Amino acid sequence: MENKNLLAIANEFGSPVYVYDSSKIISQYNRLSDAFKEVKQLKLNYAVKALSNLAILKLINSLGAGLDTVSIQEVELGLKAGVKPKNIVFTPNGVSLEEIEEVSSLGVQINIDNLSILEQFGTKHPDTPVCIRMNPHVMAGGNSKISVGHIDSKFGISIHQIPHILRIVQNTGMRINGIHMHTGSDILDIEVFLRACEILFETAMNFKNLDFIDFGSGFKVPYKSGDIETNIEEFGFKMTKRFNSFCKEYGKNLTLGFEPGKFLVSEAGYFLAKVNVIKQTTSTVFAGIDSGFNHLIRPMFYNSHHEIINITNPEGKERFYSVVGYICETDTFATNRRISEITEGDIVAFKNAGAYCFSMSSNYNSRYRPAEVLWHEGEAHLIRKRETFNDLIKNQIDIDIFSKTKETVS
């Protein structure tokens, strides 16, 4: 998208606003499926939690992807977007047996990540095939909050517990139709990831009735120029070769699955905000915008880097800014950032705002969540209205018991 398109959207729909460029989502999807075109059966399930607007789910489903979900509400959003239950996988962590049973009854593939639920589910529903989430104990990814494959992780069933899984399968007569791993975000080293895949292949040989192996996600996208990203083409080439040879060994063409979230939507997103105030202090120049970590928490939560450009004055002389929000506690988006000169009222654009941005937003400080706009084939479509005061109070119950007290006092 060009700056002038973004600026026109900020003018039309107001700020702050999230904008998603459909062409980037489509090209990322094509890039990933092309990298694995030599695999006979490939299934890409988009991780809904990254960005769950119905329009996005419809777009991604129209490309041929299924969905990876972590809550029954995400499943319901997928169904509402018209995704068929058989194209949805449910990969929750720590949810109740009841929720898993309810999702399973909708015809969705379930993925179980602990022995206790596996035993209970298998006992009650021996005829429903399930996938199991393994923990290969391979450390991939740099951020401890998003790295989920290590030894102390709460995710998955340890590969050291395979004998216990097999005993449950035998005792209940249940069928395991898939195995899964998701080692966490930010795969920097393809070899490390492939090592985890080897562990999964070894695990797979214990199960004779598999239909698919799901390798999760963790594809790293660039946040700034010079950033390392997962080399999808190289990864696809190496993984395809290995997967196809594994299928021969296994004696069946299995489906190769991935669950990309960030990879599909991160770079498609822009977050636009208006600069309310320029404040010079003794040590820095702050640019205070009409938003905060209530709308974009990743810099405060994960120390993530989002490039910021002044789209009102993109060619201006560059100066150093600390870009901060309006929340009443430390609320910093960026420090010492070179941005072309900002005047109060300018619109700034945050890049990589497609994944885990709107979906992690809140009403903290009683602010409205922003609008969302989809840019598709040269046209802007509003896909979520900005909230209003009514959204803040619609579930609150105004109990009228204090006014009385006040009356008696006065």
User: Active-site residues: which are they?
Assistant: 328
Q: Give the list of residues 6+ apart from residue 90 with CB closer than 8 angstroms, or none.
A: 69, 70, 72, 75, 100, 103, 104, 108, 109, 110, 111
Q: In angstroms, what is the minimal distance from the CB of 184 to ligand PLP?
A: 8
Task: Extract the tokens encoding 358.
Answer: 């709107």
| Contact window for ligand PLP (CB under 6 A) among 10-18, 211-219, 283-291, 297-305 | 211-219
218 touches ligand PLP by CB under 6 A: yes
70 touches ligand PLP by CB under 6 A: yes
Of positions 122, 149, 216, 299, contacts ligand PLP by CB under 6 A: 216
| Contact window for ligand PLP (CB under 6 A) among 116-124, 190-198, 260-268, 297-305 | 260-268
CA distances from 7 to 1, 87, 313, 346 (A): 10, 37, 11, 10
260 touches ligand PLP by CB under 6 A: yes
DSSP count for the chain of H helices, then E strands: 13, 18
Task: Extract the tokens encoding 42.
Answer: 């490939």
What is the spatial distance between Cα 129 and Cα 89, in angstroms, rounded to a whole number?
A: 12
What is the spatial distance between Cα 50 and Cα 374, in angstroms, rounded to a whole number?
A: 16
Which residue is nearest to ligand PLP, using beta carbons? 261
Q: How many residues bind ligand PLP (CB under 6 A)?
A: 18
What is the spatial distance between Cα 124 and Cα 78, in angstroms, rounded to a whole number?
A: 26
31 touches ligand PLP by CB under 6 A: no
Residue 386 DSSP one-character state: P
Amino acid type, 376: H
Per DSSP (E only), the strands in 76-125 are 88-90, 109-112
| Contact window for ligand PLP (CB under 6 A) among 100-108, 217-225, 370-378, 398-406 | 217-225
Binding mask 71-110 for ligand PLP (x = CB under 6 A): --------------------x-------------------
Residue 396: count other Cβ atoms within 10 Å of its Cβ. Answer: 7
Short-list 276, 307, 280, 302, CA closest to 356: 302
217 touches ligand PLP by CB under 6 A: yes
Q: In angstroms, what is the minimal distance from the CB of 25 to ligand PLP?
A: 13
| Contact window for ligand PLP (CB under 6 A) among 47-55, 227-235, 288-296, 397-405 | 47-55
Output the CA angle 294-295-301, nearest 5 degrees: 65
150 touches ligand PLP by CB under 6 A: no
Rg of the chain, C-alpha, whole Å? 24
Of positions 67, 109, 246, 262, contacts ligand PLP by CB under 6 A: 262
* Residue 242 marked ligand-binding: no
* Residue 302 marked ligand-binding: yes
Short-list 234, 232, 354, 332, CA closest to 287: 332
Binding mask 179-198 for ligand PLP (x = CB under 6 A): ---x--x-------------
Per DSSP (E only), the strands in 86-198 are 88-90, 109-112, 130-135, 157-158, 176-180
| Contact window for ligand PLP (CB under 6 A) among 19-27, 33-41, 44-52, 383-391 | 44-52
For the chain, the distance separating the N- and C-terminal CA atoms, rounded to the nearest angstrom, is 62
Residue 232 or 287: the one with the smaller Cβ distance to ligand PLP is: 232
Residue 150 or 319: the one with the smaller Cβ distance to ligand PLP is: 150
Query: What is the rounded (10 degree) CA torsion for 36, 260, 161, 122?
Result: -100
Q: In angstroms, what is the minimal distance from the CB of 67 to ligand PLP?
A: 11
Residue 219 or 375: the one with the smaller Cβ distance to ligand PLP is: 219
Of positions 47, 272, 287, 297, contacts ligand PLP by CB under 6 A: 47
Q: Give the residue ranges of the annotated binding site.
A: 218, 298, 302, 329, 356
Contacts with ligand PLP, residue ranges (CB under 6 A): 47, 49-50, 68, 70, 91, 182, 185, 216-219, 259-263, 355
Q: Give the residue ranges of the annotated binding site for pyridoxal 5'-phosphate.
A: 218, 356
